[in-house]
């Protein structure tokens, strides 16, 4: 183990259910190993402004079940500049911090990597994002909760779709990644899924809906990823309606409901495992790596690969979704 004595933890980018469980794990693992642990408020913005506070085990009591992040999160334009990173470094040295655990997505990793090129401060990353789009891990913290929230919402939409014989286009989050859409579509028994990674035309969806009518299925659910290149749920619904004016079509955007709420058991356990491993990684002298979980084992991926390599969808799941939607 290295001579690291003081570490800090921050959350950056979009919040994700399970971030508090991760913070709790980092703090209590650090305390167990007799390390001083500090919380950086509002991500890199707090680092630039010196908003740093000492944490004890009691400070993270009763947070494992809470959504959001007790450390808050924010975008930081100042940290993107050399002057801002210099201020951040001065605050790190003023608090004698030897290493940082950064919880977030690709932007968080990019910030850590940029900082490490200029200053000798080790960073270890943890994947906190509902999108599940980070290379080097099967699952990210918050993904399981997000898809459970989305599926619960779709189940309720299905009730009214069935009652009125309507077709609903339901938009889920995920930016330009289809993981949330794919898993929500499978889990909710959707009749079709629009994924950013796979080109699907309006004609394709129209054909799905017409086949459903032949089978006397008078309602349907179509899941649309928000970053779909063919258009969002509202745009696609309009296009389909123009081609098929006989269909009774509605649109529902689940939105930020997917980012909040109490984390599932899976996200709590995942976050706890990663937080514990992140502290021990810093103590071993690891730096510039992102934690992941592959085949239920903790792994480490260089920041560069985690940022720049694309995590593909599971083609078998995509094909299965198409078959089950028939």
Which CATH number belongs to the domain containing residue 82 in this structure? Answer: 3.40.50.450
Do 71 and 127 belong to one domain?
A: yes
Write down the pLDDT at residue 218: 63
Do 130 and 217 belong to one domain?
A: no
> Is residue 279, in this structure, part of any structural domain at all?
yes
Write down the pLDDT at residue 2: 59
> Is residue 320, in this structure, part of any structural domain at all?
no
Q: Which residue out of 45, 98, 131, 133 is catalytically annotated?
A: 131
131 is catalytic: yes
Over residues 189-217, mean pLDDT = 83
Do 70 and 149 belong to one domain?
A: no
Do 134 and 150 belong to one domain?
A: no
> Is residue 323, in this structure, part of any structural domain at all?
no
Does residue 1 carry a pLDDT above 70? no
> Is residue 317, in this structure, part of any structural domain at all?
no
> Is residue 319, in this structure, part of any structural domain at all?
no
Of 121-130, 211-220, 305-314, the least confident: 211-220
Give dist(CA 51, CA 24) in Å, integer: 19
Do 24 and 119 belong to one domain?
A: yes
Do 82 and 164 belong to one domain?
A: no
Which CATH number belongs to the domain containing residue 221 in this structure? Answer: 3.40.50.460
> Is residue 64, in this structure, part of any structural domain at all?
yes
Write down the pLDDT at residue 105: 95
Give the predicted TM-score (pTM) of the model: 0.95
Q: Parallel, antiparallel, or unpaired: how do β-strands 6-11 and 99-104 relate?
A: parallel
> Is residue 318, in this structure, part of any structural domain at all?
no
Do 227 and 171 belong to one domain?
A: yes
Write down the pLDDT at residue 212: 75
Write down the pLDDT at residue 289: 98
Q: Could you tell me the pLDDT band of residue 56, with boundaries at 50, 70 and 90?
A: very high
Q: Could you tell me the pLDDT band of residue 216, with boundaries at 50, 70 and 90?
A: low
Q: What is the pLDDT of residues 29-49, one digit of tens each?
A: 999 999 999 999 999 999 999
Write down the pLDDT at residue 3: 84
Over residues 96-106, mean pLDDT = 97
pLDDT cut 90: percent of the chain above it: 83
Higher pLDDT, 209 or 179: 179
Range of 199's domain? 143-260
Do 25 and 113 belong to one domain?
A: yes
Q: Parallel, antiparallel, or unpaired: how do β-strands 52-55 and 36-40 relate?
A: antiparallel
How many independent structural domains does the chain possess?
Answer: 2
Q: Could you tell me the pLDDT band of residue 87, with boundaries at 50, 70 and 90?
A: very high
Do 213 and 286 belong to one domain?
A: no
Do 245 and 288 belong to one domain?
A: no
Do 245 and 273 belong to one domain?
A: no
Over residues 138-152, mean pLDDT = 98
Write down the pLDDT at residue 243: 87
Q: What is the pLDDT of residues 234-292, one digit of tens each?
A: 999 999 999 889 889 999 999 999 999 999 999 999 999 999 999 999 999 999 999 99
> Is residue 290, in this structure, part of any structural domain at all?
yes
Do 204 and 267 belong to one domain?
A: no
pLDDT cut 70: percent of the chain above it: 98
């Amino acid at each position: 183990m290295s001579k690291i004595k003081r570490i800090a933890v921050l959350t950056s980018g979009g919040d994700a259910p399970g971030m508090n469980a991760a913070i709790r794990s980092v703090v209590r693992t650090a305390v167990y190993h007799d390390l001083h642990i500090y919380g950086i408020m509002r991500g890199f913005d707090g680092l630039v402004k010196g908003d740093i506070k000492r944490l004890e085990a009691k400070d993270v009591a009763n947070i494992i079940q809470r959504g959001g992040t007790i450390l808050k999160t924010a975008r930081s334009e100042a940290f993107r500049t050399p002057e801002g990173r210099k201020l951040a470094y001065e605050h790190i040295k003023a608090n004698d911090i030897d290493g940082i655990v950064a919880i977030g997505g690709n932007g968080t990793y990019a910030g850590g990597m940029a900082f490490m090129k200029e200053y000798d401060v080790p960073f270890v990353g943890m994947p906190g994002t509902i999108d599940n789009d980070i290379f080097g891990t099967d699952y990210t913290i918050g993904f399981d909760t997000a898809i459970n929230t989305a599926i619960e919402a779709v189940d309720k939409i299905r009730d009214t779709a069935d009652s009125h014989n309507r077709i609903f286009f339901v938009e889920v989050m995920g930016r330009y990644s289809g993981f949330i859409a794919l898993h929500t579509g499978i889990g909710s028994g959707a009749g079709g899924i629009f994924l950013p990674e796979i080109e699907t035309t309006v004609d394709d969806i129209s054909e799905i809906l017409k086949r459903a009518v032949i089978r006397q299925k008078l309602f349907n659910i179509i899941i649309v990823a928000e970053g779909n290149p063919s258009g969002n749920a509202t745009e696609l619904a309009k296009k389909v309606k123009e081609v098929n004016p006989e269909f009774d079509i509605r649109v529902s955007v689940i939105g930020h409901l997917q980012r909040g709420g109490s984390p599932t058991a899976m996200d709590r356990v995942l976050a706890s495992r990663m937080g514990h491993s992140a502290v021990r990684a810093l103590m071993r002298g690891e730096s510039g790596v992102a934690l992941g979980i592959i085949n239920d084992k903790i792994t480490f991926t260089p920041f560069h690969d985690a940022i720049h390599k694309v995590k593909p969808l599971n083609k078998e799941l995509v094909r299965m979704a198409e078959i089950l939607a028939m």
